[in-house]
Structure 1
Amino acid sequence: MPDHSLTAFRLVKPPSDRALSALLSAYRDNRLYDRVVQAFNTLPAELGIKPGLVSHNVLLTTLVASGDLAAARALFDEMPHRAGVQPDIVSCNEILKGYLNTGDDAAFDQLLKEIAGPERHLKPNVGTYNLRMTLLCARGRSFEAQELLDAMGARGVPPNRACFNTVIKGLCNEGEVGAAMALFRKMPEVPRQNGTGVSPNFETYIMLLEALVNKGVFDPAMEVCKECLHNKWAPPFQAVKGLVQGLLRSRQAKRAKEVLMAMRKVVKGDAKEEWIKVEAQLSLLLADKKS
């Protein structure tokens, strides 16, 4: 596929920055990072193309993904002077991501100040906020991340699913499953530009279910599991096993049986045989509780 992309690129007449950025993106998406750098450094001079903002951002993404943050920052700083291209908020987010990956909190905070400062004067987007919340959660400050999430809408940047998942994951990791569950329940009510509500995805349900089961909070775990199964997503067997065992210990055999029956309908393919084994073990426990 990447070789086909190069062939298609050379067919474009006249050569354009748009075609270059598409080629670079194809290489990057296939993790061919060396080819991105080589193409960026050779093709513009060969074909008389002036790389624009999008091509520079693809290269920034590549350098950060490959772990070469020093080269990414050097490119970022040189863009206005050597290429006449001003970094935008996407460019800044890539460098922030690099600092997040390397744990350089001081550099992360400094660039955040520059973004809003008089020199750059850029408006943070949803990606910027998500990176900030990821850093706060990684430092055990998930409640601060939640405050930032709550403030986003008022600043004209509605949070998306990734933002909610970031904070829910942070709260779960800190054992704050009640707060995580409360945030989960707020998702359908969040104002959006094209309506209301943010839909949870499989990742949201699994993070919550595993955290609630591990904490022994089985009523909300049952609620999350039922929603997940209603969407025809089969949760990890270990989490379901923990939920069923917890319900049985709480003398809720009927609800435990409901989970088993719902899982049987949702599990497909190769996983079905493995689930039959798990269900057989749990059915024995269920029978013991009845006897």
Structure 2
Amino acid sequence: MAASLLRRNPRLRAIPLTTLRFSTLSTQSPTNPRSNSSSDSISRAKAAIRSELDPERIATLFESSSHEPSFHGDRLIYSIAIRKLYRYRRLDLIRRVLDHQLSHPSTPKSEAFFVRILLLFSESDLLDDAVATFHRIPSPRTDRSFSALLSAFLNHRKLERLRESFLSIPEEFGVSPGVASYNVLIKAHCVDGDLSAARQVLDEMRLRGIDPNIVSYNTLLDGFSKKGDAAGFEEILNEIRSRGLDFNVVTYNCRISALCAQGKSSEAEELLDVMISKGLKPNSISFDAVIDGFCKEGNVKSALRIFSSMRSTKKETEVGGEATGAKKETEVGGEATGVKKETEAGGEATGENDSISPSSKTYTKLIRSLVQKGEFQLALDISEECLEKKWAPPFDAIKGLVDGLVKDSQVGLAKGIVKKMRTGLRGDAIGAWKKVEGALKL
């Protein structure tokens, strides 16, 4: 078994057998207690975790290394290991390695470390384990772990448990809710569609001497925008101004989305320039909203202009460049744009030349709009670019594109995109495309 694993993964050959076989690393050199050999072994173990395909081996490597400070201080390797195990649907192994972390005497017993484990359980669909982790946190607990627990309930749409916990946990554990916990509660009310209750939370915060921050207001802005309540939206905007809070990228994104929903995409585009003048960089959510707005208004040329501008805009280089274009608005969740972290919700701020990369949805919107407008050559260019990124363009739009090219006597181009679709698709999409292809008039 071990020999087979070594043949499949050459990187493992560099790791001492003691690292692979036992739950702790070999003892440090008696002549140099802090020698480089331990650090090198940990580095190799991290590299092996990143490349390993066997979930059992991932768990073993993780456990054999995770008592070292240089390992348990690395948040990224924790996320990589747990997400890989989750992709294999090995929830049993996730429980094993994270429980090992909570119980091993060498791992930190700080609230911050327990919060990390709690959130990893939550992200792995192990909500009850996340709750149990909160109960294992050494006293005193603070708003940091309380807001993490509430975020876990929010991410799993357990809104009633969230509200019940908000009332019971402070008394049971002596935790004082802070702005982060209140922000999660506001988000829960918005998700539930109860904007009146969300609005009342602001009043409760002030009564308790807690100042709502820009995240609190952004969450409400997002709620009123999605509900189409223009009056409520403007009321919150005015309150932000009256309190002297600075708009951040999320605030502007909420305003942009609201304007586009009202058919005012040109005004939304102007806000992109305003953001830049204020020293804020628009992100993928900013651009996507305006592109979508122009497409819905039938102004595909303006949508293409924004598309071009988007790709020429450099992404934020700050670590964790989520949808705010800056640091996370809260430490543990409840961001203004959705239940998921803003990085997941749309922050595809990566791409060639370090620019903001359009999402697959952006390409889909543009291709459909271009075909509807009869701009077949432009639609062809965008479709080919989409396929180069290994994204399948919408089949109905491609059928319209092929029919349009044939009608314009561009049969060669039509056959070319059909061939690229045929060779570029994977999995179930191949069979679905064959049915579409069979109905094409080529």
Asked if 1:93 is matched to 2:221, the reply is no
CA distance in structure 1 between the partners assigned to 2:202 and 2:385 by the alignment: 45
CA distance in structure 2 between the partners assigned to 1:5 and 1:19 by the alignment: 11
Matched residue SS, 2:439: helix
CA displacement at 1:196 relative to structure 2: 5.9
Matched residue SS, 2:245: coil
Q: Deviations over 1:100-152 (max 9, x none)?
A: 133221221122122122xx211111111111111111111111111111221
Q: Deviations over 1:47-96 (max 9, x none)?
A: 100011111111111110011111110001221222x2211111001111
Counting only pairs closer than 5 Å after superposition, residues 268-287 of structure 1 correspond to structure 2 as 268-282=426-440, 285-286=441-442
Task: Name the structure 1 match of 2:128.
Answer: 3
Asked if 1:214 is matched to 2:372, the reply is yes
CA distance in structure 1 between the partners assigned to 2:270 and 2:379 by the alignment: 25
CA displacement at 1:267 relative to structure 2: 1.5
For residue 267 of structure 1, the aligned residue among 422, 425, 432 is 425
TM-score, structure 1 length as denominator? Answer: 0.93
Task: Name the structure 2 match of 1:188.
Answer: 311
CA distance in structure 2 between the partners assigned to 1:67 and 1:212 by the alignment: 35
CA distance in structure 2 between the partners assigned to 1:158 and 1:196 by the alignment: 14
Asked if 1:203 is matched to 2:361, the reply is yes
Q: Deviations over 1:224-279 (max 9, x none)?
A: 10110010100111111111111111111111111111111222112211111211
Residue identity opposite 2:429 in structure 1: A
For residue 105 of structure 1, the aligned residue among 203, 220, 230 is 230
Given that residues 153 and 191 in structure 1 are in contact (C-alpha distance below 8 angstroms), is that contact kept between their aligned partners in structure 2?
no
Counting only pairs closer than 5 Å after superposition, residues 48-67 of structure 1 correspond to structure 2 as 48-67=174-193
Q: Deviations over 1:2-55 (max 9, x none)?
A: 211111100001123211111111110011111111111110111100011111
Task: Name the structure 1 match of 2:291.
Answer: 168
Gaps of 5+ in 2: 1-125, 318-352
Asked if 1:258 is matched to 2:416, the reply is yes
Aligned length: 281
CA distance in structure 2 between the partners assigned to 1:80 and 1:196 by the alignment: 42
For residue 260 of structure 2, the aligned residue among 132, 137, 148 is 137
Residue identity opposite 2:405 in structure 1: L
Residue identity opposite 1:74 in structure 2: Q
Counting only pairs closer than 5 Å after superposition, residues 15-94 of structure 1 correspond to structure 2 as 15-82=141-208, 84-94=209-219
Asked if 1:13 is matched to 2:171, the reply is no
CA distance in structure 2 between the partners assigned to 1:187 and 1:101 by the alignment: 24
Q: Deviations over 1:151-188 (max 9, x none)?
A: 21111111000111100000000000011011111112
Identity %: 43
CA distance in structure 1 between the partners assigned to 2:390 and 2:357 by the alignment: 15
Residue identity opposite 1:163 in structure 2: S
CA displacement at 1:191 relative to structure 2: 4.6
Residue identity opposite 1:39 in structure 2: S
Task: Name the structure 2 match of 1:226.
Answer: 384
Deviates more, 1:14-23 or 1:203-212: 14-23
Task: Name the structure 1 match of 2:333.
Answer: none
Given that residues 205 and 225 in structure 1 are in contact (C-alpha distance below 8 angstroms), is that contact kept between their aligned partners in structure 2?
yes
Given that residues 189 and 196 in structure 1 are in contact (C-alpha distance below 8 angstroms), is that contact kept between their aligned partners in structure 2?
no
Q: Please list every run of at least 4 consecutive aligned residues from structure 1 whose deviation after the TM superposition is greater than 3 angstroms.
A: 191-196
Task: Name the structure 2 match of 1:152.
Answer: 275
Task: Name the structure 2 match of 1:289.
Answer: none
CA distance in structure 2 between the partners assigned to 1:189 and 1:270 by the alignment: 34
Gaps of 5+ in 1: 287-291
CA displacement at 1:193 relative to structure 2: 4.6
Residue identity opposite 1:103 in structure 2: G
When Rg is computed on C-alpha atoms for both structures, the one with the higher figure is 2
Matched residue SS, 1:55: helix
The CA RMSD measured in Å over matched residues stands at 1.4
CA distance in structure 1 between the partners assigned to 2:438 and 2:314 by the alignment: 45
Specify which structure has the higher proportion of helix.
Answer: 1
